Structure 1
Amino acid sequence: MPTARESLLSAALRALDQRPWPAVRMVDVAASAGVSRQTLYNEFGSKDGLARALVRREADAYFHGVDQLLAERAGPGPAEQLVALAEWTVARARARPLLRALLTGCWGERLPAPRPAGRGAPFAAAPAQRRADAGPPAPADVAAAVRERSLAALERARSNGPAPPDEAAALAHRCELTVRLALSFVVAPDREGVGGLVRTALTPPPGPAPAPSANG
């Protein structure tokens, strides 16, 4: 059974699907979640606090999804894991405006403006809210976190131990390239999809043709 906090966050997300954030009322969120308005304020402190918690939950859900997908796709090899990650990221961002805003930094008028809690703001009673009040990660922070998670997952999947430094650097570059290409498709979608482009970018070019022998 979801906690009051989770019920309130789900209710706020439903309200956001129906109207822009400035028109979302705390009393309606509380009623939709089946709790009192006082419970809502106890959990989040204010509407700005609710907005920060909503965005924090979206970020956490995305990172959890990244970890889960990489673990599930551990078999096919690094290139296919990264292709799947890029395709999933683009599809999820298309379906979830909050995630799209997190990845791009483009919030718009319909979405909450997730600023960190100001100096001198009351100390949040709920531990989860204290974390949310620090503010959401910036797009560069999200990209870096996904790159590091991808790299860690690919290194764990290696059957022959840790990669030597030059190979580890190449793997980190592949992860970075995948994340950047996925973000470019979130900003500017293309009919062809991101998977083919990531697969091409990660495929090593064919080696040079062997040199002819001295005997012709």
Structure 2
Amino acid sequence: MMPAARESLLDAAHTALARRPWSAVRMVDVAAAAGVSRQTLYNEFGSKDGLARALVRREADGYLAGVDRALATHADPRDRLTATAEWMASAARDNALVRAMLTGCWSERLPAPTLAAVPSSSAVPAQRRADGPLPSPGDFVRIVRDRAVTVLRGTDTVKPGGAELARSCEYVVRLALSCVAAPPGEGGIAELVREALPGQLI
């Protein structure tokens, strides 16, 4: 199957999920919305659980791509971390699957695929990857922290050593996650991040 068709099926599944609980999403309807046969859908994803894993994997990849964009947006390290925290909070606010992945709180409306790898006989490389382990909330903290450390360490304006920089980055990530559960008040997440970061970061 062409990647575009796979994306169309995932788009159709995402749209269906926005309208009804995952338990009420039917494979035949997803296939029809994407303009392919139900057999094609099963050939690509194997099962409804395979479709769910692929959808979660795609949302995870999109979330992490947004993290990378935020980290590349500014020159100032504080601005980079602020933009990353704002992206984390907005992505979770706007996307129920991202919110569930980051918090571990899966509502009854959502698919809740196991985070462990599942046996895969798929001939589709993208599906074999989706059938592999999915990131846990703790994994996301480490991934975003490590990406932030790597980007900031490559700049001339960051002063602290590795352990201190990693602590600052992890603190920002966890602060952003707290704003997912309890949205910040006036000043928003940017003010919280700037107050939390040590002055010696730059």
The equivalent position to 2:191 in structure 1, one of 193, 196, 200, is 196
Question: What one-letter code is carried by the residue in structure 2 that aligns with 1:175?
Answer: C
- The number of aligned residues is 198
Over aligned residue pairs, what C-alpha RMSD do you find? 2.0
* Cα drift, residue 170 of structure 1: 1.8
CA distance in structure 1 between the aligned counterparts of 2:117 and 2:197, rounded to whole angstroms:
43
Q: Which residue of 2 aligns with 1:112?
A: 111
Q: Which residue of 1 aligns with 2:90?
A: 91
CA distance in structure 2 between the aligned counterparts of 1:72 and 1:40, rounded to whole angstroms:
38
CA distance in structure 1 between the aligned counterparts of 2:117 and 2:137, rounded to whole angstroms:
21
What's the CA shift string for 1:121-180, capped at 9, x where partnerless?
451111111111124210000110000111111122336xxx78x522221111111000
CA distance in structure 2 between the aligned counterparts of 1:17 and 1:185, rounded to whole angstroms:
23
Unpaired stretches in structure 1, ≥5 consecutive residues: 206-216
TM-score normalised to the size of structure 1? 0.85
CA distance in structure 1 between the aligned counterparts of 2:172 and 2:184, rounded to whole angstroms:
16
CA distance in structure 2 between the aligned counterparts of 1:139 and 1:182, rounded to whole angstroms:
13
* Cα drift, residue 18 of structure 1: 0.4
Matches within 5 A, 1:72-151: 72-73=73-74, 75=75, 77-115=76-114, 121-151=119-149
CA distance in structure 2 between the aligned counterparts of 1:137 and 1:175, rounded to whole angstroms:
19
CA distance in structure 2 between the aligned counterparts of 1:61 and 1:71, rounded to whole angstroms:
15
Change over 3 Å in CA distance of 1:197–1:59 after alignment to 2: same
Question: What one-letter code is carried by the residue in structure 2 that aligns with 1:57?
Answer: R
What's the CA shift string for 1:9-48, capped at 9, x where partnerless?
0000000010010000000000000111111101100000
Q: Which residue of 2 aligns with 1:46?
A: 47
Unpaired stretches in structure 2, ≥5 consecutive residues: none
Question: What one-letter code is carried by the residue in structure 2 that aligns with 1:84?
Answer: A
TM-score normalised to the size of structure 2? 0.91
Question: What one-letter code is carried by the residue in structure 1 that aligns with 2:153?
Answer: E
The higher radius of gyration belongs to 1
Change over 3 Å in CA distance of 1:96–1:11 after alignment to 2: same
CA distance in structure 2 between the aligned counterparts of 1:94 and 1:122, rounded to whole angstroms:
32
CA distance in structure 1 between the aligned counterparts of 2:22 and 2:185, rounded to whole angstroms:
31
Question: What one-letter code is carried by the residue in structure 2 that aligns with 1:184?
Answer: S
CA distance in structure 2 between the aligned counterparts of 1:199 and 1:150, rounded to whole angstroms:
16
CA distance in structure 1 between the aligned counterparts of 2:132 and 2:68, rounded to whole angstroms:
23
Question: What one-letter code is carried by the residue in structure 2 that aligns with 1:199?
Answer: R
Is the contact made by 2:57 and 2:134 (CA closer than 8 Å) also made in structure 1? yes
Question: What one-letter code is carried by the residue in structure 1 that aligns with 2:8?
Answer: S
Q: Which residue of 1 aligns with 2:27?
A: 26
Partner of 2:114, secondary structure, is: coil
